[in-house]
Amino acid sequence: MTFEDAYRLSPELILGFFAILIVLLDLGVRRKGWLAALTLVGLGASAAWTAVLTAGGWQGTALGDTLAVDNFSLFFKFLFLGAAALVVLASTGYSIRFARFQGEYYALVLTSAAGMMLMASGRELITLYISLELTSLSLYALAGFLKDPRSNEASLKYLLLGAISSAVLLYGMALLLGLTGETHLDAIANALGRMPGANYPVLFLGIIFIVTGFGFKIAAVPFQMWVPDVYEGSPTPVTAYLSVASKAAGFAITLRVFTLALGGPREAADWSLIFAILAVASMTLGNILAIPQANIKRMLGYSSIAQAGYLMVGLATLSDLGRSGIIFFLASYAFTNLGAFIAVIAISHRIDSDLISDYAGMAHRSPLLAGALTFCLISLVGIPPTAGFIAKVYLFNAAVQQGLAWLVIIAVVNSVISAYYYLGVVKAMFMGTPLSLERVTAVRPALAALAVATVGVLVVGILPEPLISIAQAVGRSLIP
């Protein structure tokens, strides 16, 4: 590793250093609250170095052109670091449920964030796969941190199904390697451009396997079977982390692979149709199955599947506007879903229940938490003046311009369907009879995280232009 390599990879190296430091300090520190503070310091240091790379002209490649430090990867690094920081803040009160293992918990948050950052930077198949596994192994462990039967089941299901999806993905990558003799994404694209048509059936099979592997990571139908049980059984902060950071990492790696390696006209026409079909299936099944859910974490799990469907509308467009729409949507979704989950963490931790029926009258017991959760749920529906509304308009506009009006109509209908179960929670909180008159409060760090997320939803909804400009610049940087 050269000095330039180390400099460009310093954000990930910083996270690795702090992960090791936290594990070592956990052996001797009695006040575990310091571990959360140290985790935030590590995330802040990594973000500061990422800002230096952004402003200091150090963009380029590292480790033999296997990793890219460009606007695309830098944007997602900020997104992952921000999501991790908000999850750590939201965990401060909740972490008493696994008090003996807080050091391991915070260390795994850091290692998973480092893996996601490497995923967004990868320009080579082997590097991408190793980064993906670094992220996945950390998340498998985090899912089981409550160490009760449901949490153990969630972790085991996530591990087994994740291992299968990784094997399928690796087989698809092996087919690409066999056809082209290359593992670098741009070299694969060049080789496919010269490939005879007789080999295309094998390439199409490889594309199917790769879509399957990535479909699991982004929770798209029919690869979503792990989501409801894992979301319900995992610690709620981990569920929030999975729903935002893990999904964003999955779309980042999908965008880079399919744009750089499989962006030729012949290949793109096929995978565009595949993603359009998966978008319809994910939106429809996710929203329909969310309606009867009594558990708010399971409901938000099916909501996450539907949101993946909306995002895949952008993948189906094959356009710069579609790519920037996905990036804008992911940033908006990060604020929105983290805000919703942070409110759920605070409420469910105090009432010791995830049942929607137990949220009845929450507006009387905690107007602040109920109001913030309501605002974020409205954003998930796509009602102005929220970030979710702007994100859907932006993404759907990109699809209409590419002749996919039929897909947009289906997406709009599904958004209307989603209002039923999102607003059902709001109805319970504001019109239901409280089960108790005891006040529901949250610790200050969690309230700070909730404030950041909620204000982000409002600001992006009212003044979207700065984020739109960033998303457009990031989307253009993906094309060499």
Q: What is the pLDDT of residues 152-202, one digit of tens each?
A: 998 999 999 999 999 999 999 999 999 888 899 989 988 888 877 667 788
| pLDDT higher than threshold 70 for residue 111 | yes
| pLDDT higher than threshold 80 for residue 268 | no
Q: How confident is the model at residue 253 (pLDDT cuts 50, 70, 90)?
A: very high
Give the pLDDT score at 56: 75
Q: How confident is the model at residue 395 (pLDDT cuts 50, 70, 90)?
A: very high
Give the pLDDT score at 198: 60
Mean pLDDT rounded to a whole number for the chain = 90
Q: What is the mean pLDDT of residues 84-96?
A: 89
Give the pLDDT score at 61: 84
Element (H, E) at 61: strand 60-62
Q: How confident is the model at residue 29 (pLDDT cuts 50, 70, 90)?
A: confident
Type of residue at 159: L
Q: What is the mean pLDDT of residues 268-283?
A: 89
Type of residue at 115: G
Element (H, E) at 417: helix 405-431
Most confident of the ranges 61-65, 100-104, 447-451: 447-451
Give the pLDDT score at 58: 77
Provide the residue ranges of all domains of the chain, joining segments of one domain with +: 264-480
CA 297 to CA 347: how far, in whole Å?
12
pTM value is 0.94
CA 130 to CA 112: how far, in whole Å?
12
| pLDDT higher than threshold 80 for residue 389 | yes
| Look-up of token digits 């429809």 | 284
